[in-house]
Amino acid sequence: MKKTLVAIAALTLVGAVSAQSSVTLYGRIDASLASQKTKVGGTTTVDPGAQIRSGAHTGSRWGLRGSEDLGGGLKAIFQLEQGFNVDTGTASAATREFHRQAFVGVTGGFGSLTVGRQYDPIDNMYGAHDAFGYSGYGAMNYVFNSNCTATGLGDCVGRQDNSVFYTTPNMGGFSGGLMWAPGENKVPGVSSAGKMWGLQLGYANGPLNIGGAYQENDAGGAARSIENYEFGASYDLGVAKMFLQFEGGKNDNGVAAVRSKDSGFQIGAVIPLGAPSLMVSYARENQKIGGNRAQTAKGLSLMAQYPLSKRTYVYAAYLRGELDPSAAAAPTTKQQNYGVGLVHNF
Q: DSSP labels for 210-248?
A: EEEEEEEEE--GGG-EEEEEEEEEEEE-SS-EEEEEEEE
Give the pLDDT confidence score for residue 291 in this predicted structure.
Answer: 84
86 contacts: CB under 8 Å, gap ≥ 6: 29, 30, 31, 54, 55, 60
pLDDT digits (tens, 9 = 90+) for 175-199: 999 999 998 877 776 677 789 999 9
Residue 281's CB: how many other CB atoms inside 10 A?
Answer: 27
The CATH number of the domain holding residue 112 is: 2.40.160.10
Coil vs helix vs strand at 117? strand
Q: pLDDT tens digits for 108-119?
A: 999 999 999 999
Is the pLDDT assigned to residue 238 strictly greater than 70?
Answer: yes
Q: Within a domain: residue 221?
A: yes
**Separation in Å, CA 110 to CA 45, 168, 189:** 54, 7, 38
9 within some domain? no
Q: How far is Cα 204 from Cα 175, in angstroms, rounded to an integer?
A: 8
Query: Would you say residue 105 lies in a domain?
Result: yes
Assess if residue 285 is contained within a domain: yes
C-beta of residue 102 within 8 angstroms of C-beta of residue 78 = no
Q: Report yes or no on 1 lying in a domain.
A: no
Residue 170 CA to residue 283 CA, distance in Å, equals 30
20-48 pLDDT, tens digit each: 789 999 999 999 999 999 999 999 999 99
When pLDDT is cut at 50, 70 and 90, the band that residue 7 belongs to is very low
pLDDT of 156 over the 80 cut: no
Split at pLDDT 50, 70, 90, the class of 222 is low
165 pLDDT exceeds 90? yes
The whole-angstrom separation of Cα 334 and Cα 36 is: 11
How many other β-carbons are positioned within 10 Å of the β-carbon of residue 43? Answer: 8
10 occurs within a structural domain: no
DSSP secondary structure of 49-100? -SEEEESSSS--EEEEEEEEEEETTEEEEEEEEEEEETTTTEESSTT-SS-S
Structural domain includes residue 178: yes
| Average pLDDT of the segment spanning 231-260 | 89
> pLDDT value at position 149?
63
pLDDT of residue 10: 42
Cα pseudo-dihedral 285, 250, 117, 133, rounded to 10: -20
As a whole number of angstroms, the distance between CA 63 and CA 98 comes to 8
Instruction: Tell me which residue range forms the domain holding 258.
Output: 39-345
19 belongs to a structural domain = no
Give me the number of domains the chain comprises: 1
CB 202 within 8 A of CB 95: no
pLDDT band (50, 70, 90) for residue 223: low
* Across 248-270, average pLDDT: 86
